[in-house]
Amino acid sequence: MKPIAAIWHHPGNPPGVGAGNYPVAIVSFVQTPALVAVYVDSTGRVSTAPIGELEIVDAAAREAVAAANSALGGR
C-alpha cells in the first residue's frame, strides 16, 4: 500500500497528556473489533490509532474513496 498522508488528532493518554495534532503517514489498516490504522510518525516510530482519530489529507486517497463510494451508490 502506498503511504497516505494524514493528521493524527491525538486525544492524549492519559487524557490530555501528549494531546495534539501530529503529521503521520498511514501505511496499513488492520481490522480488529474496530478498524485501526498502522502509521509512521515524523520520528520514524510505527504505531496504531483508531481510524476515527485520523484525518486523511492526501488528495489522491480522498478522491479514491469518493470514487469507490460513487461506484457503490450506483449498484
Backbone angles phi, psi at 14, to 5 degrees: -60, 165
Residue 19 confidence (pLDDT): 95
Pairwise CA distance, residues 33 & 56, whole Å: 21
- Judge whether 42 and 25 are in contact, CB under 8 Å: no
- Spell out, as residue ranges, where the chain has pLDDT lower than 70: 75
State the pTM of this model.
Answer: 0.80
C-alpha angle with apex 67: 61 to 73, nearest 5 degrees? 140
Residue 51 confidence (pLDDT): 93
- Judge whether 46 and 39 are in contact, CB under 8 Å: yes
Pairwise CA distance, residues 3 & 26, whole Å: 5
Q: Which domain holds residue 45?
A: 4-73
Query: Length of the chain in residues, anyone?
Result: 75
Q: Domain total for the chain?
A: 1
